[in-house]
Structure formats: structure tokens, C-alpha cells
Amino acid sequence: MRIIILFMRELKDWIEFVIRNIPGGIGNLVRSNYYKLRLKESFKNNSIGIGIRIECPRNVVLKSNSYFGINCKLYASELSNIHIGFNASFNSNVMVNARGKGRILIGNNVLIGPNVVLRSSNHSFKSRKMPIISQGMTDGEIIIGNDVWIGSNAVILPNCTIGEGAIIGAGAVVTNDIESYSIVAGVPARFIKKRDLNL
């Protein structure tokens, strides 16, 4: 009896495991239609690769014409949300993590390279008298403007706004706001130059 109760509680996880791992065009079609029903808002022509994980989909908005490579992860929670604009492209293994009370807003025409991490919350560590793991999280937000390109392996930390048209170099760690049309790189990310607005 106990195993039946446990199975019924986990049935959704089993169904989503199967849906996540159906290969080819049929898998993409199944995932697109499934998440169109599950997400808070989901529009048309979204391509969703195998291995996708979406936690708390009722707090995720996905506009039209976006692409998700294999093993992307979108983590919302009961108290947080993720909003993704039109025509975004997420390469493989991208993690968008808005757990806790955070939020992540991603604009239109955004390119995100493989293995990028966006995390709107961070661990608290003020006290030296208790383990960091016991101190909870600090909540924040990440806002990414339109037409932004984030290079592979970059990390965007809480309470950062990336302005329209900015470029984040591969492997950069963004800890502060980035002005529109700026190119930044490094750890932590530093200003390199402005994009030429005449081209």
C-alpha cells in the first residue's frame, strides 16, 4: 500500500522524466505542447531540447520563438518567478535559478552560451558561529535587457542588471550592473569597451 501511495505522489516526476528524454522532432513537439499547458504563459514555436528541467512551471513565462539546448534547467519556486522574452536562445546546460524569493527577467533576442549560470539568490554567511549551510539565502533579482549575448561558462550573480545590447565574455563572472552596449570580460567582469553604435 505504501509503495502505491508513493508512486501516485511521484507520478508527475515519472511522466516528466519520460517527456524530457524523448529524442528527435517528436520529443521536441511533445515537450513544447506539454510545457505550453504547464507554464504560467507559453506561446508558440518554442524548441525544447532533451533533458530540460523546469521547477514550479506555473511561475515561468516563456514567450514565442525561443530555443533550449539539451539539459537546460529553469528553477522557479512558489515565491519566485522567471520571465523569458521572445526569440531567446539557450545553448546546452544553461541554468536559470530563481529559487527562494528571487526573480529573473530575460528580454527579447537574448543569446546565452553553453554552461551559463544565472542565480538570483545567494547563500548568507554573516555569522561565523553557525555553518553557512544553516544560514539560509539572500534573495535578489537578475534583469537582462534585449539583444544581450552571454558567452559560454559565464556566471551572473544576484542583483545585476545587464543593459540592452551588452556582451558578456566567455567565463566572466558578473557581480555588478553592466551598461547598455558594453563589452565586459574577466573575473569579476570588467569593462572592455563600448560597441560601435555607428555600425
Q: Which residues are catalytic?
A: 123
Alpha helices, H only, the chain:
2-20, 24-38
- Which residues, in sequence order, are CB contacts of 118 under 8 Å at separation 6+? 94, 95, 96, 97, 104, 142, 144, 155, 156
Element (H, E) at 196: none
Q: Which residue, chain included where needed, has cell 529559487? A: 99
C-alpha cell at 179: 551598461
Cis ω for the linkage preceding 131 (within 30 of 0): no
